[in-house]
Structure 1
Amino acid sequence: MSRRDRERDGSRDGGRKRGAGSPVTVTVCRGCCCGTEAKHPGVDHAGQYERLRTAVGSAGRVRAVTCLDVCTQSNVVVVGPSSEGRAAGGRPVWLGFVLMDEMIDDIAAWVHAGGPGLADPPGLLDLQLISVSRRVREGLPE
């Protein structure tokens, strides 16, 4: 159970002040393997990215990067904590094989709930967790 779940005060956002500090950041790999028809035929990569941006809205920030260097587990998405989430112990969470719309919806719901450090990943996102090397983790652009 996350700290946010334990301390929930009954309001929708747990009393969190929007706009204070940095927001939850969702980094979507869209490079050599992730986001390509060649590796994942039949997946609407551009549509999923837009769906995620729309669903997250002003609750967080969604950005695409060229390559996160975890090509064997594409499509890769990293959910980074907000300032508040980081202060509560949240760290970036790497998700692999993000190929279904339901996963996109779960990521957006997690951002709206506060993200890493403030809320547990919803749905089946815990099954998408991947481990990456420190070299790869540290290479994620700010």
Structure 2
Amino acid sequence: MPEMEPAPCRIVVCRDCCCGSPKVTGVDHVAQTARLAEGAPVRISDCLGVCDQANVIVVQPSAAGRAAGGRPVWLGLVNDPDATEDILGWAHAGGPGVAPLPDILDLYAINPPGRP
């Protein structure tokens, strides 16, 4: 029986009423989503409820990250290619629970809806 690879970080990309729409100008939303998908599994979501922070991306921990106590990290205003690359680099390093959140991504961190 082949050995299973551990589940990697997953990235959730909001693409609904505000995120991924012309309301956020100057962003190639399709290219951003495709670039993220090159480095990690990506799931497209309907509205995540923080429209004032569009574009919203959530990095979910890997199995190892969850085992280490990692929690999903919500990022808002992810509207430039450098931020997309920073997210990919962090996911590649292990993401929540495995690798510390890079200082630059701390600038994008937001609270999920319903959490202070």
2:42 counterpart of 1:19: no
- Alpha-carbon deviations, 1:61-82, whole Å to 9, x = none? 1111121111111100000001
Identity among equivalent positions (%) equals: 51
2:63 counterpart of 1:77: no
- 2:85 aligns with 105
The answer on whether the counterparts of 1:109 and 1:122 sit within 8 Å (CA) in structure 2 is no
Aligned-CA RMSD value: 1.7
Query: What is the TM-score of this pair, normalised by structure 1?
Result: 0.74
Select the residue among 31, 46, 49 that pairs with 1:66.
46
**Alpha-carbon separation, structure 2, partners of 1:82 and 1:125:** 18
Give 1 or 2 for the bigger CA radius of gyration: 1
- 1:42 aligns with 26
Displacement of 1:134 = 3.7
Displacement of 1:18 = 7.6
**Alpha-carbon separation, structure 2, partners of 1:47 and 1:123:** 25
Select the residue among 70, 74, 97 that pairs with 1:94.
74
1:44 maps to a residue whose letter is D
Runs of 4+ residues over 3 Å off in structure 1: none
2:99 counterpart of 1:119: yes
**Alpha-carbon separation, structure 2, partners of 1:101 and 1:18:** 32
Displacement of 1:123 = 5.2
Query: What is the TM-score of this pair, normalised by structure 2?
Result: 0.90
* Structure 1 residue ranges without an equivalent (≥5): 1-16, 136-142
**Alpha-carbon separation, structure 1, partners of 2:102 and 2:62:** 17
* Structure 2 residue ranges without an equivalent (≥5): none
